[in-house]
Structure 1
Amino acid sequence: MSSLQGNVSPTQPSARPQAKSAPRFAAVGSPFFGILLACMAVIVILSNIGAAKGVQFGPIVTDGGFFLFPFAYILGDVISEIYGFKVARRAILATFALSVFASLTYWVIIALPGFTDDYGRAKQAALEGALGPVPQIVLASMLAFLAGQTINSFIIVRLKARQGERKLWMRLMGSSGVGEFVDTLIFCTIAAPVIGITGFGMFANYVLVGFAYKTAVQYVLVPVTTLVIGWFKRHEPSYAA
């Protein structure tokens, strides 16, 4: 009996820690990335046009692009989670370049000689009023989007390297808060004079409302964003789930 006990040794847990697996990302060979990039670029460009108009709901001050812009960050979250930081950075730079192209296009349209009758002059004035401020707003948006979205993507990918496929909600919420604050502060600082926002109180209102609204939209839509990311992970051929 003692010999049997001597031959049987209890299973000992390995003292060597298991190697951490690298985070999974997809390649960009499928059509999905192109669709996401196109949607993000269109949303940013339309938001820039809408931002030329100041909007006021009672004491709340914002701009005409407020309802659309948060979705650019949601798409940025999807791209970062599925394709990684390098691809997300390319998407940000592509959106940046397309915004510049759109702004140059507005400038050419305004500069072209129009009809000289009353209707032609009225349309020219309307174009100048609507699209004239856009280059400065585009500058504000590009710098803000470049900084905020890069930080947003970096946080998502770094957290994913630690968490793997777990705690997606934490990555989405943590990155959104930091990225949106940087984006809002830069954008509002540059764009406020063009929109017509003057005085520190009005400016502070603009910054705080913009940050609170955009962050709240992203937080409320975290369950939807999680479902969308899950769908892409299941259907993106190169994502090794």
Structure 2
Amino acid sequence: MTSAQTFPAPAPPKFASIGSSYFSIVLALMAVVLILSNIGASKGVAIGPIITDGGFFLFPLAYILGDVISEVYGFKVARKAILASFALSVFASLCYWIIIALPGFDDDFGASKQAALEGALGPVPQIVLASLLAFLAGQTINSWILVKMKSRTGEKSLWARIMSSSVAGEFVDTLIFCSIAASVIGISDFGSFANYVLVGFLYKTLVEFLFVPVTTAVIGWIKRREPSYGA
């Protein structure tokens, strides 16, 4: 009579502490990318039949940086990074509101400057709200899936973790963001809205897929230099 075959339990996933300078650098980059993409998103962009916004080339970078934080530092740290980034985005939006509200010069130049500021930065608070809710939901799902998969695969199949989590996270993010932000950038009919959602989701996901080799290389570079990784 043979005994049942047993398999060794998977090793617990490795993560680094946030004591080194690498985490603060990645967090600062994430916050800057989010603030700039929120400003850019207030402008509608039409490239042939494609409808998007001015932050389209920036926002995928925030998710790539989120993947780096999730993989190296874990879900709890990633959640703190998300909240910190958006607290800074809300602060930036408050500053825009104060700048617009301050009394300006009464000449023609001052009036044109005020109109330009209101046009460029006035819609940002609603964009920040859209981005806040979308990124909180999408990035949390993205980070949770990535870390959950890491607990099963360990250090193997990083590319699969990044790609799988990106599809889920980007879909939720894009749907929520577009639903709130569409009216701000001038999208009012369903066809344009569907175009906006579909293009945004496919574009962001494609960018993350194309950058998987770069993301993987950056993650490996940080892991090798984080003294507490896996300690």
One fold, TM greater than 0.5? yes
Which residue does 1:3 correspond to in 2? none
Which residue does 1:135 correspond to in 2? 125
For 2:5 and 2:196, the matched residues in 1 are separated by 56
Which 5+ residue runs of structure 2 have no aligned equivalent? none
* 1:109 aligns to 2:99 (yes or no): yes
For 2:107 and 2:205, the matched residues in 1 are separated by 47
Give the 5 Å matches for 1:1-241.
15-240=5-230
Alpha-carbon deviations, 1:169-224, whole Å to 9, x = none? 00000000000000000000000001001100000000000000000000011011
Assess, with a 3 A threshold, how the Cα gap between structure 1 residues 46 and 166 changes in structure 2: closer, same or farther.
same
Deviation at 1:19, TM superposition (A): 2.8
For 1:234 and 1:26, the matched residues in 2 are separated by 11
Aligned-partner residue type, residue 68 of structure 1: L
Alpha-carbon deviations, 1:36-84, whole Å to 9, x = none? 0000000000000000000001110000000011000000000000000
Cα contact 2:38–2:131 (8 A) shared by 1: yes
For 2:3 and 2:160, the matched residues in 1 are separated by 31
Two-structure CA RMSD over aligned residues (Å): 1.3
For 1:56 and 1:16, the matched residues in 2 are separated by 59
Percent of residue pairs bearing the same amino acid type: 73
Aligned-partner residue type, residue 151 of structure 2: A
For 2:3 and 2:94, the matched residues in 1 are separated by 65
Deviation at 1:237, TM superposition (A): 1.0
Aligned-partner residue type, residue 97 of structure 1: A
Deviation at 1:17, TM superposition (A): 3.3
For 1:230 and 1:86, the matched residues in 2 are separated by 20
Cα contact 2:139–2:169 (8 A) shared by 1: yes
Aligned length: 230
For 1:129 and 1:18, the matched residues in 2 are separated by 61
Assess, with a 3 A threshold, how the Cα gap between structure 1 residues 223 and 13 changes in structure 2: closer, same or farther.
farther
For 1:240 and 1:101, the matched residues in 2 are separated by 35
Which residue does 1:4 correspond to in 2? none
For 1:173 and 1:65, the matched residues in 2 are separated by 22
For 1:102 and 1:165, the matched residues in 2 are separated by 38
Q: Secondary structure at the match of 2:183?
A: helix
TM-score by length of 2: 0.97
